[in-house]
Structure 1
Amino acid sequence: MTDERERWNEKYSGVDFSLPADPIPELERRLSTLPDGRALDVATGTGRNALFLAAAGYDVDAIDISDVALETARRRADEHGVDVNWMRADLAAFDWSVGEYDVITVSFFAALEHLPAIKEALAPDGVLIYEHHLRSSDPLEIGPSNERHRYRSNDLLRACLDLTILSYEERRRPVAGGVAAVATLVARNSSGGTQSYPKLTARKRPPSQE
Structure 2
Amino acid sequence: MASWDERFRAGEYPTDPDPSPVLEAYADETDGGRALDIACGTGRNAVFLAEQGYEVDALDRSVEGLRITESNAASRGVDDRVNLIQADATAFEYPADRYDVVTISFYRLLDRLSDVKAALRSDGLFFYQHHLRSDPPATVGPSTDRHRFGANELLRACLDLTVLYYEESSESREGELSATVELVGRNSHGDAQSYPETR
TM beyond 0.5: yes
Are the aligned partners of 1:20 and 1:175 in contact in 2 as well (CA < 8 Å)? no
Task: Rate the CA distance shift 1:174–1:129 in 2: closer, same or farther, 3 A.
Answer: farther
- Secondary structure of the structure 1 residue equivalent to 2:94: coil
Structure 1 segment 169-208 matched on structure 2, within 5 A: 169-173=167-171, 179-199=177-197
* Amino acid in the other structure paired with 1:47: G
Residue 12 in structure 1 maps to residue 8 in structure 2: yes
- Within the candidate set 31, 35, 52, 1:35 is matched to 31
Alpha carbons 1:46, 1:72 under 8 Å: kept? yes
What is the root-mean-square deviation in Å for CA atoms of aligned residues? 2.3
TM normalised by structure 1 equals 0.86
Aligned length: 197
Match of 1:81 in 2: 77
Gaps of 5+ in 1: 202-210
Alignment counterpart, residue 90 of structure 2, candidates 79, 89, 92: 92
Q: CA deviation at 1:20?
A: 7.3
**Aligned twin of 1:132:** 130
Change (3 A) 1:149 1:176: farther
- Alignment pair present for 1:67 and 2:67: no
CA distance in 2, matches of 1:156, 1:175: 24
Distance, in Å, in 2 between the alignment partners of 1:172 and 1:19 is 24
Greater relative contact order (Cα < 8 A, sep 6+): 1
Q: Deviations over 1:111-136 (max 9, x none)?
A: 11111110000000001010000011
Q: Percent identity?
A: 47
Structure 2 unaligned regions, length at least 5: none
Q: Secondary structure in 1 aligned to 2:72?
A: helix
| Secondary structure, aligned partner of 2:40 | coil
CA distance in 1, matches of 2:86, 2:183: 25
